[in-house]
Amino acid sequence: MMSNAKERLIIVAESNLDIAQNITHYLADHGFSNLQIAQDTSSVYETLRPYYRHPEKVGILIISEHLPECRIADMCKALAGAQDAYTVPMIILGTQYKQSLEYESDTLLDRAQANGLIYHLELPLNKAELLMAIHFQLAIKRERRLRYMNEELLTNELAERKVVDAKLKYLIAHDELTGLLNRQNFERHLWIILKRNKKLPKNGALLYIDIDRFSLINELEGYKVGDRLIVEVVTAIRMLVNKTYSFTRIGSDEFCLYLDNQSADDTHQFAEKIRKALDEFRFFVDDVVYNSTVSIGIASLLQNDKTIYHPSDLISRARQACRMAKENGRNMVWEYNDTDSGVLERQHDVYWAPLIRKALIDARFFLVFQPVIDLHSERISHYEVLLRMKGKDDNETISPTIFIPVAERMGLIHSVDLWVVENAIDYLAALPDFMAHVSLAVNLSSVAFQDKSLFYLIKDKLKMTWVDAGRLMFEITETAAVDNFEQTRNMILQIRALGCKFALDDFGAGFCSFNYLKKFPVDYIKIDGQFIQNLINDETDQVLVRSIVEIAAKLGKKTIAEFVQSPDVVAKLQEIGVDLAQGYIFGKPEKTLQASNVISIYRLMQNAQMND
């Protein structure tokens, strides 16, 4: 029994004071604290009167059947037979009236006895039985009190079955927060429109409305404030919407509005009207004022050649248009167009993302190696590792320019980076002893160094395979290095501490190159190919390459020229003082390494001139 139950009022109604005190002392010894004695009927009611507004504080009435001027049956009806929380269970000391009460024809009395709210104890009194009866009746009262409280929480409408059904039907069809149609009901409405349009084509348009930067308000102010913003935005839009339009909440901060029988111009004007109204809308949170704009995408039923068969197709088009509005600056209206670059890109991503996942699982990626030549010693310095993917046919090779951008956009690039690193180290470990001089340069994505697991993979893999860390070089683009400078720099320092080398790829493509170069811990600088391809004919390129070589030399770094394709460029690079070079003139990316690491640049240049 809970302690608060023992704090409830227990009245001992007994004219014999010694007997009453004997009972109260016994109950006090067992933890009951609120005990009062009443020696006649009027005292019982006087004791109960202060508790009229707090019936939950009343426990039990223990009453002697010999209490003066007491009509037991009437008291049982008034107290034990009371409804709801006002019920007072009764323990009657004596069995004289037991049979007569049982034969009393009264509904309240019958219910009270059936529910155990009236209990008879034989005399002389067995205190252990009394204690058991008290615990039993307090439990009954507590259960009745809980049931009463739960019933009170229900609204009057829910008490009627018809009202319950009506509310359930409403909740099934509407969003609880805003009262708008929910997605399921909205799609049913669109189904009807699409079926009608098969027989009687009529234009209509779907507006997809998304609150800009809604997540920021949720993060700063909390979800309750976010819910209030949604309600106020819906209220603002409702003031502009015709009652015949279908308006729904389709996501946390996303809404759809279908305009039936509207021309393209009218639809665009109405969408602009909503956008402007929300642009002027102000949302107040204490002393802070937020300007909450919306991006709106439009998809028309008869705008495109492709027939729309399913509501989700129309919603998807409007959503893609809304996304284009967000990507192009937010707070604008954008109409769906099959030829939009963003739409085509997403269709491209949807196609390629499962193929990339499959390639990771089924080992459909493979590595190829392109030699990097030391222009002074005429030897292969190392090989650059490049990633390729098998097509549906194993003989088909897919270029990384196709799948790497998709992997970056779809959140798969970290898995691809880890695959390349792991397999490059395994490749080095599998080479025979006479090729222990071979080193590899591994290309990593622009976000590779934001993944802390990369360092631990390299560290653990080198330890497991016994590969010399000095045989491993990593290439990172200048743009990626500048965008996340401190984090990237710290990661590079950790990996270099293992013994690996680094090259800064595409150097010169950015505008802050020299400022960052002196602080960046790399061993090689790869001069961007745009300065190499036309090096012979462009004096500006020659000046820039020469400057890069001179600065790199002073900083103790070597230079690598990429996209070297002609003998004239090779000669010019040697003249300028570039250390290393790679390009098709030295070798294309292949699955196997060249048999010898010795290269005759003179002979290669001769062969190239003869082929020309």
For 475, the 3-state DSSP assignment is strand
> Which residues make beta-bridge pairs with 373?
380, 581
Length of the chain (residues): 612
- pLDDT tens column, 428-465: 999 998 888 899 999 888 788 888 889 999 999 999 99
Element (H, E) at 157: helix 156-159
**Measured distance CA(351)–CA(403) in Å, rounded:** 10
- Residue 2 is predicted with a pLDDT of 45
Q: Kindly report the average pLDDT of the chain as a whole number.
A: 84
Please check the confidence at residue 612 and state whether its pLDDT lies above 60: no
> Which residues make beta-bridge pairs with 82?
none
Q: What is the mean pLDDT of residues 59-83?
A: 83
Nearest CA to 488 out of 440, 479, 461 is that of 479
End-to-end Cα spacing for the chain: 101
Nearest CA to 297 out of 202, 204, 206, 190 is that of 206
> 567-576 and 539-554 are packed helices; what angle lies between their axes, rounded to 10 degrees?
40
With cut-offs at 50, 70 and 90, classify the pLDDT of residue 213. confident
Please check the confidence at residue 525 and state whether its pLDDT lies above 80: yes
Residue 231 structure tokens: 């309600």
Please check the confidence at residue 478 and state whether its pLDDT lies above 50: yes
- pLDDT tens column, 232-276: 998 999 889 887 788 888 888 899 999 888 888 888 999 999 999
Nearest CA to 263 out of 297, 237, 301, 295 is that of 301
Please check the confidence at residue 193 and state whether its pLDDT lies above 50: yes
Question: Looking at the whole model, is its pTM more than 0.75?
Answer: no
**Measured distance CA(454)–CA(65) in Å, rounded:** 86
Q: Where is average pLDDT lowest: 77-91, 206-220, 277-291?
A: 77-91
Count CB neighbours of 157 within 10 A.
11
Cα torsion 458, 463, 464, 469 to 10°: value is 60
Domains of the chain and CATH, by start: 3-153 (3.40.50.2300), 174-338 (3.30.70.270), 365-611 (3.20.20.450)
Nearest CA to 85 out of 63, 56, 113 is that of 56
Residue 512 structure tokens: 């802050």
- pLDDT tens column, 316-345: 889 989 988 898 888 999 888 876 666 677
With cut-offs at 50, 70 and 90, classify the pLDDT of residue 158. low
Nearest CA to 250 out of 174, 307, 363, 344 is that of 174
- Residue 1 is predicted with a pLDDT of 42
- Residue 141 is predicted with a pLDDT of 82
